[in-house]
Amino acid sequence: MELTVKLQVFEGPLDLLLHLLEKNKVNIYDIPIVEITNQYMEYIAEMRRQDLNVMSEFLVMAATLLDIKSKMLLPAKESEDEEEEDPRAELVQQLLEYKMYKCMAYELRDRQIDAEKVWFKAPTIPPEVLAYEEPVDVNELMSGVTLARLNDIFQSIIKKQADKIDPVRSKFGRIEKEEVSLPDKMTYVEEYSLHHGHFSFRSLLEAQSGKMEVVVTFLAILELMKMGKIVVSQEYTFDDIKIESKIAA
């Protein structure tokens, strides 16, 4: 009657070595190389009868173990200057790294198994919650923007408008445009911000054709800030003030 031995499947020679170390309950830093080599050779002898296609890597490790075994059996060289290097050191390092990656693989497998047990519910947020808009905090909108800075920019724009006046032709008289109202200018700024998204306070004022339009545009910006339709920010002191539209397209 033949005795059939079923071998455990190992992923590689390092996997087999770890199995032997755990089976014999030995310290990985102090491998009994003679005993482990003998057990390893018994395993691969049985594996050779089972499948020759997976033997190459195991035979390379067998040769490495035999080489280490022979070095361990040789008498140690007496040297006072240099400490003799342990021939098992490189193998121990490989086993430690392999064991670390193997533990990580088990951890990832467990996480995958746990994730497969999790079910996510589709969002069912009530429409009134989705439609809720947080009240506008005027103080927060105006944080970092001082009236002094706004006044400086306003005065510089007024000066530029004055510099555009031709000193000769201005004496001939001119046809004044019809004065624009604040609601009309607010509508203009809303449309401008809707199309531009982000723009500078200075560029908006410079686009105006006269002093009255600059003043009304300035007032329109303040009103839209209070309504929360635009946000004003300034990264550094004396930088240009940036305007961001909060109007949904």
- pLDDT band at residue 1, thresholds of 50, 70 and 90? very low
- pLDDT band at residue 4, thresholds of 50, 70 and 90? very low
Q: Return d(Cα 193, Cα 195) in angstroms, integer.
A: 5
pLDDT at 177 over 60: no
pLDDT value at residue 80: 56
Mean pLDDT calculated for residue range 195-211:
79
Structure tokens at 201: 């306070």
Phi-psi region at 198: left, alpha or beta (left = phi > 0; alpha = psi -120 to 50): beta
Share above pLDDT 70 across residues of the chain, in percent, rounded to a whole number? 82
- Residue ranges, comma separated, of all CATH 1.10.10.580 domains in the chain are 136-164+179-245
Computed over every residue of the chain, the mean pLDDT equals 77
Provide the CB-side half-sphere exposure for 142 (13 A, CA).
15
pLDDT at 5 over 50: no
Burial letters for 179-209: b for 16+ Cβ neighbours within 10 Å, e otherwise?
Answer: ebeeeebbebbbebbeeeeebebeebbeebe
Higher-confidence position of 109 and 53: 109
- pLDDT band at residue 78, thresholds of 50, 70 and 90? low
Taking Cα atoms as reference points, which of 74, 78, 10 lies closest to residue 43? 10
pLDDT value at residue 119: 83
Q: Return d(Cα 1, Cα 219) in angstroms, integer.
A: 104
Q: How far apart are the first and last CA of the chain?
A: 86
Q: Is the separation of the CB atoms in 204 and 213 below 8 Å?
A: no
CATH superfamily of 136-164+179-245: Structural maintenance of chromosome 1. Chain E (1.10.10.580)
pLDDT at 176 over 70: no
Mean pLDDT calculated for residue range 231-236:
79
pLDDT at 3 over 60: no
pLDDT at 32 over 70: yes
Strand order in the sheet with 198-200: 198-200, 242-245, 230-233
